[in-house]
Chain A
């Protein structure tokens, strides 16, 4: 045997120090008050009006951008599947390339485009149209999310779509299925695993972001990520910050469980 149990010792120590204790300390701080006593107030603080509003807006914007990504990515994956092999490789390359650029710079690009003195407004002014207020709106944040996360939706969907056996689709047509029916009964069910991992890879970062909302929302629109970040960096109230992140984690876990359920039934449909 090559394997010896003691080889895993550094890894186990790393898990304990890097994952278990840190996560336990969020739980500890989340249920503690400043004087060290036990309290639920950091958790129930989520019901505070501002926090509820931020959480609601985060859920809404994350949902909208995930949906947009899905609607844009699915046809793209289908087009990719149908293009020639060499061209496919090139197109994948083109989709991956922006992911290699720092996402702060990519988000900054939209700031440059959307700002009052920015590129789009200057072009509008050039043709005599009035300047638009596009920055610091929820729309700008959604745009930034879609731009940053779209490749994370396209790639997993493409991965599953490209593996669908062409014979299955032909069989569906031969058996008299309409185009729509072929999509809803054959192609989409077979794509569920890719769709599910795409949704996870877009929804969770969108739900928890504070960077995009800070850069494109001008600090005026608070998402739940911004609230938590401010508790840690500006207000130094780790107790409240931990409590709120525990509540946020509940939403993350819930969405994962929900998605996994879909994936499983999708997997059973395959048989």
Chain B
């Protein structure tokens, strides 16, 4: 009885989560522009999507900003973790408190705060201001994922390498980076996804001429939903599905290898 209830409950939640997405996928292949009448199969909305210069530009912006922001955040964040380890506990706590602000704060507040800052210093809003803002909200995530990897053990290994005659730089490359690597990788990936997904902060820190996928969707939905957006949804969904399945498979394969 309890099992049956559990299954039904899961089914309802799944339907709630996936029926809207499924609707978009079905409608993306609809010949008609209408959201309610099925007029036959067609790929024309995909053609419209791929022939749109603005959309392609937005996609390029989204990914180049995400990669650069994640890269900057990873470097600044990892260095910060190393730097903070040399500080007094009190100083470190203060820095960590500031580090947490962008994560706890509402996105709209972070967005307008950065917008005001750019207005005050007279920076023209565009690609660079978006990039700066994205790095700002990514750094905390890098720090939180790298910090737990750095411990006494890393330090002793490093000292041992120096005692055995390694130069600081060599020991850093051979000991510290490999020890921190899992944290650095997950920090980078987390930053990348946060950046790709962001709308609110981008919305306030972008200039008039530049779009990311999110801001373009927003401005298009405001004018009126076009089925090419359904095509975009389908593509994003399929990409997310493939990426997540690959990551999961790799993880379970690693677990299986470990078990052996």
A121-B36, A245-B112 are known contacts. Are A7 and B233 too (CB-CB below 8 A)?
Answer: no
Asked if B141 is at the interface of the complex by the 8 Å CB criterion, the answer is no
Contact check: which of A18, A91, A211, A245 meets B136 at CB < 8 Å?
A: A18
Contact between B21 and A101 (Cβ–Cβ < 8 Å)? yes
A95 to B214, CA, bound (A): 22
Q: Which residues of A contact B99 (CB under 8 A)?
A: 15
Residues A75 and B9 in contact, CB atoms below 8 Å apart = yes
Judged by a CB distance under 8 angstroms, whether A83 is at the interface is yes
Whether A2 contacts B80 by the Cβ 8 Å rule is no
Residues of A within 8 A of B155 (CB): 1-3
Does A100 contact B244, Cβ atoms closer than 8 Å? yes
**A119 x B200 contact (CB < 8 A):** no
Total contacts A to B, CB within 8 angstroms?
232
Interface residue stretch chosen among A22-30, A38-46, A165-173 = A22-30
- Contact check, B199 vs A211: say whether CB atoms are below 8 A apart: yes
Q: Give the residues in chain A near B27, CB-CB below 8 Å.
A: 112
Least Cβ–Cβ distance between A189 and chain B, in angstroms:
22
Instruction: Mark interface residues in B64-85 (1 if CB within 8 Å of A CB, else 0).
Output: 0000000000011101101111
Say yes or no: A108-B217 contact (C-beta < 8 A), given A11-B95, A19-B98, A72-B13: yes
Stretch in B45-53, B101-109, B181-189 with 4+ CB within 8 Å of A:
B101-109
Prevailing SS type, chain A contact patch? helix
Binary per-residue interface labels of chain A (221-255) against chain B in the complex, 1 for a CB within 8 Å, 0 otherwise: 00001001100100000100110010011001000
Cβ proximity bits B2-40 to A, threshold 8 Å, 1 near / 0 not:
000010011001101110110110010000001111000
Which of B14, B36, B106 contacts A252 (CB under 8 A)? B106
* Residues of A close to B6: CB separation below 8 A: 79, 82-83
CA distance A120 to B84 in the complex (A): 55
A18 touches B80 (CB 8 A): no
Are the CB atoms of A119 and B117 closer together than 8 Å? Answer: no
Complex CA gap A113/B35 in Å reads 8
Identity of the chain B residue whose Cβ is nearest the Cβ of A79 in the assembled complex: B6
The answer to whether B237 has its CB under 8 Å from any CB of chain A is yes
Q: Determine if B214 and A79 form an interchain contact, defined as CB atoms under 8 angstroms apart.
A: no
Residues of B within 8 A of A (CB): 6, 9-10, 13-14, 16-18, 20-21, 23-24, 27, 34-37, 75-77, 79-80, 82-87, 95, 98-99, 101-102, 104-110, 112-117, 119-120, 132-133, 135-136, 139, 143, 154-155, 158-159, 172, 176, 193, 197, 199-200, 204, 213-214, 217-218, 221-222, 225, 229-230, 232-233, 236-237, 240-241, 243-244, 248, 252
Interface pairs (26), CB distance under 8 Å: A6-B83, A8-B87, A15-B95, A18-B114, A18-B132, A23-B101, A23-B113, A25-B113, A25-B116, A26-B109, A79-B9, A79-B10, A82-B6, A98-B21, A101-B21, A103-B197, A104-B214, A109-B233, A115-B35, A117-B35, A118-B36, A119-B23, A122-B35, A150-B16, A208-B106, A211-B199
Q: Rank and list the top 10 A-B pairs by shortest CB-CB distance, nearest first.
A: A8-B83, A11-B80, A7-B83, A122-B36, A22-B113, A18-B136, A3-B86, A109-B20, A100-B240, A3-B85
| A interface with B by C-beta (< 8 Å) | 1-12, 14-15, 17-23, 25-26, 29, 72, 75-76, 79, 82-83, 89, 91, 93-98, 100-106, 108-113, 115, 117-119, 121-122, 147, 150-151, 204-205, 207-211, 214-215, 225, 228-229, 232, 238, 241-242, 245, 248-249, 252, 256
